[in-house]
Each structure stands twice: as C-alpha cells, then as structure tokens.
C-alpha cells in the first residue's frame, strides 16, 4: 500500500499517481503542486510527509470581510501594514515552520510571517491593499494549515507575557556574580596593604549591587509573607523574608559602621537560588490551554438572514445575535444560540455538550440548544435566546468557574514552615538568653546569625524542584499538568470519578457488528460505493470497514439528511439508513436496534440486515480499575442511560459505584457532596458536559484523543493512549511527596550544622557563603536524582503492549 507523499496517510485503493509520487486525495495533490510550482519543494525534504490534508473552506471564512470582526482579529492595522496572529493546530514539524515562514514567496503581499512553534501560533504581516484577511486565511487553508478562529479571539485581551520572573532572576544573578567577585579579597583574608585600604570601596559597591536584589527581585516574598501574616498564617515566605531582611540590615550595619563585610554574597545567592526554583517549577505547555471555556469552541460569526426586504444573507458577530433573528447553520457548523428550527432537517451532534456520540434528529418546530453541531443540510433557526443566556453558556455562570483554587493552604511546604518558623525563633531567643549571661556584647550578633543561617533556602527549594521534575516526567509521558500544585493534590486523592462515554470508552474504535442475511459480493460493492458518497459520520465509519471492495461509479445517489442514503447502479437499488427510512424492519429486530446505534440495509428485494455500532471500552480498563481501587474509591458517572451497566459490571471486577442519567449539573453536585464528606476527589472526563465537575473536583483531568484539539477547562490533560498508566502517575505523585519529605530532612541537617555555628557565635560570612549554596545545590541534586529514578518506572507504551 502506498502512503501519501504529502500527508503520509495510506492511499487505499484509489491512490493518485502524479509526477511519480502518490497522493491520497486531490487536496494533498493540489498542495504539492502549489509548493512544487513555486520552488517550495524543500518542504518535503525537511521532514517526511509533513503535510495535512486541506479541508474544504469555500465560503466558510466569508465573515472575515465583516469590518467589525476584522478589527477584533487584527493586532495592528495601519494603512498598508496589517498584523494578525492565528493559532494553527496543524503546526507540528520543522517543515511547517519553514513553509509558513515562506508564505511571502507565494503571495508577495504577505510581507513576513513568524512562527511560534511551542504555542503553535503564526504572526502574519501583510498589506491589506493587496490582499484581504480572508484571502490570507484561505491561503493558509489551501496549504492545509487551517487557523482556529473562535469566539475567544473576539474578546481577546492584550496577550501580555509576564516576564517579570526572568527580569528578577537576571538581576539577582547579575548581583550575585558581581558581589561574589568583589568579596574575593575578603574570602581569602589577604593581608595586603592596598586591598585593605580600599575595603570600604568594595563593600560600598556590594551594598549598592544588593539593593535592587532586595527591592526588586525579592519583592514578591515580602508581599506574600505580609499577606500570610495578615491572614494569621505562617507560610514558607515568612522565614525567607525574615532571613532576607536580617541579612540585609545586618550587612548594611556592618558596612556602614565599618565593622565587617556583611553577608551580601549570601543574600544575593539566596534570592537567586530561590528564584531559580520558582522558574524551574514554572513548566508550561504553551500550546495547551487549561482555561478553556465555551468561547474556544464557538464560532466568531454566524450567517443572519435579513428578513426585511430582500432575502439577503449577512455575516454578523455572534454577540450581536438577538432573539427573533433568523440564522443559517450549514453542515458541520456549531449552533451558538438556543433557537427553534424553522426550515431543514436537523441531525445534531451533541457529543460536544453531552458526550453522547449519537446525533439527535430534529424536526421543524423543535427547540434546538446551543452547542450542537449540524450534520447534513442547511438549517434555518429562529433565535430564542442571546448567546449569554443560552443553556450551555449558562453553565459557565456557575460559581465553580469563578473561584480560584487555593492550593497553597494545604501544601506540604506550608505545613512544615509553620513549625520551622516557630522553631527558629525559639532557638534565636534561647541562644540570645544564653549569651545575655555569658557575653551580652554578642547577643545581637548571635540573634541575627541564627536567623540568617536558618533561612530555609534548601527547604523552600525541595518542593519546587521535586514537583518541577515530576511535571517534566509526566509531560514526557503525555500527561500534561497545569502546575506543580496539582501533583501535590494528586497524591492525596482518595476518590476517583469517571465519566463513561469518551473516557472509559474510546471514540475511535467502535466495534461494528452485522446481523441479518449476508450480502452478496455485488451488493457489498454497491453498499461501499454508496457509503463512499456520504459524509455522515456513521457512513464514514462503516465505509472505513469496507475499503477492500471495489468502488464503482453510481448511476444515482440521493441523501436525505437525518434519514439515510440511496444508491443506484444498473437498476439495482440499495437503501441505507434508519429504521424509518429503510421501512422494512421485522419487529423482533427493532428491540435490538433500540439499544444501540444502528444502520439498516435494504435492497429492492427487501430488508437485509443491520450494522450495530457498539462503543468499545478501553482495553486497559480492568487493570486500571484494579490498580486504582487499592488506594481509592471508584465511581462512574454517566450521562447515558443504564443500558451498559451489566456490561460494565462484567468488565470490572472491583466494586464501583455507578450512576446513570447524570446531567452536567448533577455531576457537579455529586462531586460537591463527596467533598462535603471530606473526600479528595479526582474527576476524569472528556466533554464539555463534564466541565463543571472537572472544575469542582480537587483534581480535574481531561482525557483527550488528540491533545491539540479539544479539552475543557481542567487541571491536567491526559493523552488517551496513556490511560492505562493512570495508576502509575498517581503512584508517582505519592512518591514525589515522599521525596519532598526526605529532602526536608536533608535540608534540616544543614540547618543544624549552621545553627551550631551561629549559636556558638562563630558564624563568619565565608561559612554562610559556602553553606548556603552547598545546601541548595545538594538539595537540587538529590531531588533530581530521586525523581528521575522513580520516574523511570513509568514505561513507554511500546513496552507496555
């Protein structure tokens, strides 16, 4: 079997040979031709089969001519220079970068393009006098790089990147290096006349360098410590702030009174290492979004029928739809508002909202809810509610989506820092008391030395580095977490709640079973040819099963949206579709058909049989449930009816609570009630219908067949192919917690050594300058080695299978 030179898909029986290459379809061939004729074939040299099959886009981007929408999408608009940026999920390799950055060779009106690969975004500068935004987008589509333009782009805020951490880190590192450099003479106590004479100059320079570190780089530690004290808490930032302040004030005092060199090097180093930990923990997946809501999926514009005067169509922004407007929904378009069907046969796929795979058919006069995707002919709707008031969007007004989660309150570091702070203050006071009797002149020296040496740098680094490493490890295994806090939550989970459709079942592998009279070879060939002509999802899945049969050109083909298809060849007719359409179903089979999605077949000679589609459960279901049940209670919440309950019971051999017919709000309430019983709940779901539950749960994981395409707001995204490793990930999270505890012990050991020096009044700046980086670096090394050792226990899928 040949594979397509452009996209790499298998070409099947109908490979197109063209210029000694094979293509799977005309779309791929066209892209090849365009690139080839414009001397851009280097595209195919960079990576093998780098392309994506272009989709039909005719008329779909007409709304880009609407000036209001255009204004919202453009980043910059000034006479002959326009800048627009788009998200293009198809960007996946170096060829993509290359061809997109060479768009100007195809159309000189495009001045330049710049790809941001990690974010899968492209920034296009063009001249609107020569090429319109619509043409730019259509050019992208023609090459198979269709940008995603959603309602989210309509009210996008200025994408402002927060670079303050890089600045802070840079300043702290800069000061750290320079101060260390300047304190070299002090480290070695060189008794050299000139160096001694210029000591005040060196010290003054150190002081100046340390000011921006304290004032700017360490600023957020002060703010956080202040906030936590105000809410009567002692988080880790309190002892850090105390340490920084004491370091700075004592050093200033020593330098100004010319009694010592101070601890400026330790101060800058401390802040630098702390910020480094923060930076490391900030592992982000730029192209994944964990904050998505309906806006990411809704279209930006819709076709409105002008009722006054002539029958004219116009493209208007979705937010301008008012009740009583008449809108047009084409095949494959998402319905953005609630409305009443006026014209056309609706076959609406609500999988996006409910997780239910089977499309619902609607007749004229029926109410249609927002969020469905029309499959079939054109619909005309009369709008009943504006976008914000629609049923689906109302879901988002639930308070769950507004509140910000406070992970920090019960994190391990916060818990230990309370005891730590009190302990350090106790030791400081006790040793001051001791020196009050022995040598009162040393009290201040000892008191400050204790606070300096006890500054919990290593302690504060333990969690960020452990969790940061774990984030990278899970990310490598296609389990993408929003932030490090999620990992700590994951370790505490004791209840796991699953959605059924799309989560436990896999969307791609549907088992198709045939029952009825067997078809002759001729009939099968006719059936395949008929199915080939239809775009209905059921036809597509059936067709993919039949690919081996020879395709013939039909004499006649008819598709009745929502009902079925009819194909005719040499006076032989075949009808494929619903029971009502085929109209010949024996009663005993009707029962069977009711429970499952089925496609019925009939020829002129009568009813033949039906294909039933059954959802298949993920193969690893049994072992995953068995593993998880050791540590957690398991629950299944499904929006479906209970027809699958017995099958599930057979599949799973551990106790699982099952609840069926759960609406999105029910799922949310169910999670809430579990939490009120004191449970830590993890929700695993896939559709928008789970989004409330995902937001409410302690850890919400979205499972996704293609991580680039779809996932509701959540704490983490799990690639569906790694479902079987879920127990291993949870185990890793628990191990991570143990590693943090061990490194706490290690860093406390360093503190004991330092405290011994401080209490006995022997802390010299050079000891502090050695001890502080040593403890930090060894903690980083320890956590890194540990996490990667434990992380290696997660196998790659090849080894699992």
State the Cα–Cα distance between residues 83 and 106, nearest whole angstrom. Answer: 18
State the Cα–Cα distance between residues 212 and 112, nearest whole angstrom. Answer: 39
Identify residues 145-204 at the interface with other proteins (CB under 8 A).
161, 163, 166-167, 170-171, 174, 178, 194, 197-198, 201
Q: Which of 19, 48, 105, 312 forms a contact with other proteins (CB under 8 A)?
A: 105
34 scored as a contact of other proteins (CB under 8 A): yes
**Span near other proteins by CB under 8 A; candidates 39-47, 475-483, 567-575, 585-593:** 39-47
Q: Which is nearer to other proteins, 154 or 176 (CB)?
A: 176
Q: Which residues pair with 597 in a beta bridge?
A: 613
**Span near other proteins by CB under 8 A; candidates 38-46, 213-221, 401-409, 494-502:** 38-46
633 scored as a contact of other proteins (CB under 8 A): no
Q: Within its chain, how far is the Cα of 307 from the centroid? A: 42
State the Cα–Cα distance between residues 265 and 300, nearest whole angstrom. Answer: 55
Number of residues in contact with other proteins, rule: CB under 8 A? 40
Q: Which of 25, 64, 139, 457 forms a contact with other proteins (CB under 8 A)?
A: 139
Name the 3-class secondary structure at 494: coil
Of 149, 139, 93, 134, whose CA–CA distance to 113 is shortest? 139
DSSP track, 657-692: EEE-S--HHHHHHHHHHHHHTT--EEEEE-SGGGHH
Name the 3-class secondary structure at 132: coil
State the Cα–Cα distance between residues 574 and 410, nearest whole angstrom. Answer: 65
The binding track of 502-541 with respect to other proteins, each residue x by CB under 8 A or -, is: ----------------------------------------
Of 123, 98, 4, whose CA–CA distance to 52 is shortest? 4
**Span near other proteins by CB under 8 A; candidates 92-100, 337-345, 533-541, 597-605:** 92-100
Q: What is the b/e burial string over 287-309, where b = at least 16 CB atoms within 10 angstroms of the residue's CB?
A: bbbbebbbbbbbbbbbbbbeeee
Give the neighbor-by-neighbor strand order of the sheet with 505-516. Answer: 505-516, 606-617, 597-603, 572-577, 564-569, 556-560
574, 557 in Cβ contact below 8 A? no
Q: Which is nearer to other proteins, 80 or 430 (CB)?
A: 80
Q: Which of 74, 83, 142, 378 forms a contact with other proteins (CB under 8 A)?
A: 142
Neighbour tally for 125: CB within 10 Å? 16
Please report how close the Cβ of residue 38 comes to other proteins at its closest, in angstroms. 5
State the Cα–Cα distance between residues 752 and 766, nearest whole angstrom. Answer: 17
Of 283, 284, 278, 281, whose CA–CA distance to 172 is shortest? 278
**Span near other proteins by CB under 8 A; candidates 96-104, 229-237, 411-419, 497-505:** 96-104
37 scored as a contact of other proteins (CB under 8 A): yes
Q: Which is nearer to other proteins, 54 or 372 (CB)?
A: 54
**Span near other proteins by CB under 8 A; candidates 100-108, 340-348, 458-466, 628-636:** 100-108
Q: Which is nearer to other proteins, 287 or 767 (CB)?
A: 287
Tell me, letter by letter, the H, E, C secondary structure of 739-775.
HHHHHHHHHHHHHHHHHHHHHCCCCCHHHHHHHHHHH
Q: Which is nearer to other proteins, 46 or 360 (CB)?
A: 46
Q: Which is nearer to other proteins, 105 or 509 (CB)?
A: 105
46 scored as a contact of other proteins (CB under 8 A): yes
94 scored as a contact of other proteins (CB under 8 A): yes
DSSP track, 36-76: HHTT-THHHHHSSS---PPPP-TTTTGGGGSHHHHHHHEEE
Q: Which is nearer to other proteins, 205 or 519 (CB)?
A: 205
State the Cα–Cα distance between residues 351 and 502, nearest whole angstrom. Answer: 9
Q: Which is nearer to other proteins, 46 or 443 (CB)?
A: 46
Please report how close the Cβ of residue 176 comes to other proteins at its closest, in angstroms. 12
Q: Which of 62, 75, 119, 719 forms a contact with other proteins (CB under 8 A)?
A: 119
Q: Which is nearer to other proteins, 94 or 623 (CB)?
A: 94
Q: Which of 55, 76, 112, 118 forms a contact with other proteins (CB under 8 A)?
A: 118
Name the 3-class secondary structure at 232: coil
State the Cα–Cα distance between residues 454 and 424, nearest whole angstrom. Answer: 7
616 scored as a contact of other proteins (CB under 8 A): no
Please report how close the Cβ of residue 58 comes to other proteins at its closest, in angstroms. 6
Q: Which is nearer to other proteins, 122 or 569 (CB)?
A: 122
Q: Output the furthest CA–CA distance in the chain (Å, rounded).
A: 114
Please report how close the Cβ of residue 749 comes to other proteins at its closest, in angstroms. 36
116 scored as a contact of other proteins (CB under 8 A): yes
Which residues of this chain interact with other proteins, rule CB under 8 A?
A: 26-27, 30, 33-34, 37-39, 42, 46, 58, 94, 97-98, 101, 105-108, 115-119, 138-139, 142, 161, 163, 166-167, 170-171, 174, 178, 194, 197-198, 201, 205
């Amino acid at each position: 079997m040949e594979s397509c030179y452009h996209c790499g898909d298998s070409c099947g029986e109908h490979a197109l040979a063209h210029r000694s290459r094979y293509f799977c379809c005309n779309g791929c061939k066209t892209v090849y031709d365009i690139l080839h004729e414009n001397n851009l074939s280097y595209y195919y040299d960079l990576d093998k089969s780098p392309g994506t099959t272009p989709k039909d886009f005719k008329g779909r981007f007409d709304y880009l001519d609407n000036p209001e929408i255009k204004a919202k999408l453009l980043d910059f608009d000034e006479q002959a220079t326009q800048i627009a940026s788009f998200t293009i999920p198809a960007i996946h390799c170096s060829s993509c970068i290359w061809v997109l950055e060479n768009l100007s060779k195809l159309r000189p009106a495009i001045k330049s393009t710049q790809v941001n690969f990690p974010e899968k975004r492209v920034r296009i500068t063009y001249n609107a006098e020569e090429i319109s935004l619509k043409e730019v987008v259509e050019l992208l589509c023609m090459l198979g790089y269709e940008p995603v333009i959603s309602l989210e782009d309509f009210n996008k805020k200025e994408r402002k990147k927060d670079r303050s951490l890089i600045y802070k880190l840079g300043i702290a590192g800069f000061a750290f290096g320079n101060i260390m450099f300047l304190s070299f003479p002090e480290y070695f106590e060189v008794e050299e006349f000139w160096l001694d004479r210029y000591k005040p100059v060196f010290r003054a320079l150190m002081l100046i360098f340390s000011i921006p570190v304290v004032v700017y780089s360490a600023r957020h530690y002060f703010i956080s410590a202040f906030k936590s004290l105000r809410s009567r808490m002692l988080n880790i930032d309190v002892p850090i702030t105390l340490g920084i302040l004491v370091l700075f004030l004592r050093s200033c005092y020593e330098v100004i009174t010319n009694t010592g060199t101070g601890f400026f090097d330790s101060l800058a180093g401390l802040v630098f290492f702390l910020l480094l930990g923060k930076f490391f923990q900030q592992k982000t997946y730029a192209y994944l979004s964990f904050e998505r809501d309906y806006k990411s999926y809704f279209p930006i514009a819709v076709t409105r029928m002008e009722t006054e005067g002539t029958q004219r169509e116009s493209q208007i922004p979705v937010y301008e739809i008012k009740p009583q407007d008449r809108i047009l929904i084409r095949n494959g378009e998402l319905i953005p508002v609630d409305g009443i069907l006026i014209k056309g046969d609706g076959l609406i796929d609500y999988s996006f909202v409910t997780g239910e795979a089977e499309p619902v058919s609607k007749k004229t006069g029926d109410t249609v809810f927002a969020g469905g995707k029309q499959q079939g002919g054109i619909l005309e709707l009369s709008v009943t509610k504006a976008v914000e008031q629609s049923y689906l969007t109302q879901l988002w007004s639930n308070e769950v989506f507004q509140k910000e989660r406070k992970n920090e309150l019960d994190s391990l570091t916060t818990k230990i820092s309370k005891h730590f702070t009190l302990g350090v203050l106790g030791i400081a006071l006790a040793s001051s008391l001791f020196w009050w009797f022995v040598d009162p002149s040393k009290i201040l020296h000892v008191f400050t030395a204790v606070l300096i040496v006890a500054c919990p740098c290593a302690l504060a680094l333990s969690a960020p580095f452990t969790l940061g490493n774990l984030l990278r490890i899970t990310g490598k295994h296609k389990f993408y977490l929003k932030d490090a806090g999620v990992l700590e939550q994951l370790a505490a989970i004791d209840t796991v709640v699953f959605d059924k459709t799309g989560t436990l079942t896999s969307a791609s592998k549907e088992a198709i079973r045939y029952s009825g009279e067997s078809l002759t070879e001729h009939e099968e060939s006719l059936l395949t040819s008929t199915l080939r002509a239809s775009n209905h999802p059921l036809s597509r899945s059936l067709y993919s099963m039949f690919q081996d049969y020879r395709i013939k050109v039909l004499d006649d083909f008819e598709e009745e949206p929502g009902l079925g298809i009819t194909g005719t060849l040499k006076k032989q007719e075949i009808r494929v579709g619903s029971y009502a359409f085929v109209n010949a179903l024996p009663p005993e089979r009707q029962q069977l058909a009711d429970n499952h999605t089925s496609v019925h077949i009939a020829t002129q000679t009568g009813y033949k049989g039906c294909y039933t589609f059954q959802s298949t459960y993920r193969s690893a279901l049994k072992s995953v449930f068995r593993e998880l049940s050791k540590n957690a209670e398991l629950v299944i919440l499904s929006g479906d009816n209970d027809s699958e309950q017995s099958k599930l019971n057979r599949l799973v051999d551990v106790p699982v609570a099952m609840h069926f017919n759960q609406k999105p709000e029910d799922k949310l309430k169910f999670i809430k009630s579990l939490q009120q019983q004191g449970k830590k709940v993890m929700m695993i779901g896939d559709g928008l219908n789970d989004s409330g539950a995902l937001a409410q749960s302690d850890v919400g994981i979205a499972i996704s067949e293609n991580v680039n395409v779809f996932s509701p707001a959540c704490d983490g995204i799990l690639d569906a192919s790694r479902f079987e490793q879920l127990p291993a990930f949870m185990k890793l999270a628990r191990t991570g917690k143990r590693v943090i505890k061990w490194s706490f012990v290690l860093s406390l050991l360093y503190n004991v050594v330092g405290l011994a020096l401080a209490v006995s009044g022997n802390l010299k700046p050079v000891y502090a300058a050695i001890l502080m980086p040593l403890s930090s670096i060894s903690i980083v090394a320890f956590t890194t080695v540990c996490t990667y050792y434990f992380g290696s226990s997660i196998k790659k899928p090849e080894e699992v299978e």
